[in-house]
Structure 1
Amino acid sequence: MDFRLEVIVLPVSDADRALAFYQNLGWRLDADFTTDPKFRVIQLTPPGSPASVIFGAGLSNAAPGSYQGLHLVVDDIEAARAEIAGKGVPISEVFHDAGGVFHHAGTDGRVAGPAPEHASYGSFASFADPDGNEWVLQEITKRLPGR
C-alpha cells in the first residue's frame, strides 16, 4: 500500500493575505471554496510539486505561524533563493549545517554558504510566510538509493 503525502494544512490568521503571498511565489491556485463565513478552503500547489497546501478558515486549531521546517526541494539552491528574493520575500542566505547531516532548528549550527562540494541534501535557505510558518529550501542533486 502506498501512502503519499498529498496536503499539508497550514495555520494562518488571514486567508486572503496568505493567498496573495503564495500566489506571489508562483504557486498554482487549485481551489477556493467557502460554504459559510466560518469555513473556507484554499488549496495551492508549489511549482513541480505533487503535494499541496491548504489554508483558510475553520481548518486547523494550530496557532497561526506555528509550522516550522516545511521543506521545498530544489535542484539549484542559489537559483531558487534568487527567485524567492526576486519576488520581494525576505529569505536567508544559503547555508549548510555545522554537523553536516541536516539543519538544526532555528538558526543553530548554520554555516554560511552551500554544503562542501554542493553535497546533495546539504544546502539550505529559509523564509517564512506572513504568519511565520517557516519554509526551508533544500538542494537535492542526487537522491539516496531507493528515494
Structure 2
Amino acid sequence: MELKLEVVVIPVANADRSKAFYKQLGFRLDADFVSAKGLRVVQATPPGSEASIIFGAHLTDAAPGTADGLHLITDDIVEARDELLRRGVAVSDLWHDADGVFHWAGETNRIPGPHPDRDSYGTYASFADPDGNRWTLQQIVTRAPGR
C-alpha cells in the first residue's frame, strides 16, 4: 500500500488574514471557495511541496493557533530564513537541540546557533502564523537512507 500525506488542516480565526500571511510566505494559493452552507476552504502549498495546508471556516473543532510541530524542510536554512525575513515574517534565530536527535516541545533543550557539524536534521528556526500556529524550519541536506 502507498499512502501520501496530502493535506494538513490548520485552525485559524480569520481565513482572509491567514490567506494573506501564507501568500506572504510564498505559498501557492490553490483554492478558495465557500459552500452554500458556509464551509470555507482555502488551500495553500509551500514552495516545492507536494503536501498542502487547508484552513477556512467549519473545517476543524480545534481552537485557532493550536497547531504545533508543523515542519517546513529546506536544504539551505540560512537562505530560507533570510527569505522569510525579507518577506516580513518574524523568524527565530537558528538553533539546535542539545540531544541532537530531534527537538523537544517548546523551547526546552535549545542551543543557539546551527548544529556544530551542520548535519542534516539538526538545525532549526521557528515562527508562528498570526493565530499562533507554530512552524519549524528544518535543514535536511542529505536524507537518511530510505527516505
Normalised by the size of structure 1, how large is the TM-score? 0.98
Counterpart amino acid of residue 24 in structure 1: Q
Alpha-carbon distance in 1 for matches of 2:128, 2:37: 27
Partner of 2:12: 12
Alpha-carbon distance in 1 for matches of 2:114, 2:38: 44
Partner of 1:116: 116
> Aligned-pair distance for 1:21?
0.1
Alpha-carbon distance in 2 for matches of 1:123, 1:81: 12
SS in structure 2 at match of 1:100: coil
Segment of structure 1 superposing worse, 11-20 or 33-42: 33-42
Alpha-carbon distance in 2 for matches of 1:49, 1:91: 20
Q: How does 1:5-44 map to 2 (within 5 A)?
A: 5-36=5-36, 38-44=38-44
SS in structure 2 at match of 1:60: coil
Number of equivalences: 147
Counterpart amino acid of residue 106 in structure 1: G
> Deviation above 3 Å: which 4+ runs of structure 1?
none
Partner of 2:144: 144
SS in structure 2 at match of 1:118: coil
Alpha-carbon distance in 2 for matches of 1:120, 1:80: 15
Q: % of aligned pairs identical?
A: 59
Partner of 1:73: 73
1:97-127 Cα offsets, whole Å, 9 max, x none, are 0111111111111101111121110000000
Alpha-carbon distance in 2 for matches of 1:53, 1:77: 21
Normalised by the size of structure 2, how large is the TM-score? 0.98
